[in-house]
Amino acid sequence: MHATIIPEEWQFEKEVVCFNCQTKATQVVRIKDRQGSVICSVCGAQRHYVIRSVIYGTDTPPMAPVGMKYDAWAFAKTSECLNCKEHARHSVHLDEYKMNVICDECGFSRVLKLDYLVFPHVLSHE
């Protein structure tokens, strides 16, 4: 049975100091198929990522995000791979410029790059 896999949205949360409001806040990470986002639960600042390349199983995996100004984050998610169709563990690495999603089973990699930022309207309290 080789039904088409409908990509599901993955969601992760990470408690870190926000790049925008500089407070320790839950950052909500969402990844679906060819795009990803990180949204601050306090100030609403958003980073949006779009896919730049797809690598089908290789000995030279894409450069993992290392974090330029901020730490790289790592998550894992077990889900059906869009390539090998296995119910496999996927490694997710991201920093402020890049996201990698890699199937641990077949090496299928999605490389997403920062596309745009959304800064919330800042209200002055003075």
Interface contacts to Zn ion, rule CB under 5 A: 18, 20-21, 40, 42-43, 45, 81, 83-84, 103, 105-106, 108
Nearest residue (CB) to Zn ion, 21 versus 55: 21
CB of 2 to Zn ion, least distance (A): 14
Shortest separation between residue 81's beta carbon and Zn ion, angstroms: 3
Residue 34: closest CA among 53, 11, 47: 53
CB of 40 to Zn ion, least distance (A): 3
DSSP assignment of 43-64, as one string?
Answer: T--EEEEEEEEEE-S-SSPPPP
What is the C-alpha separation between 84 and 65, in angstroms, rounded?
24
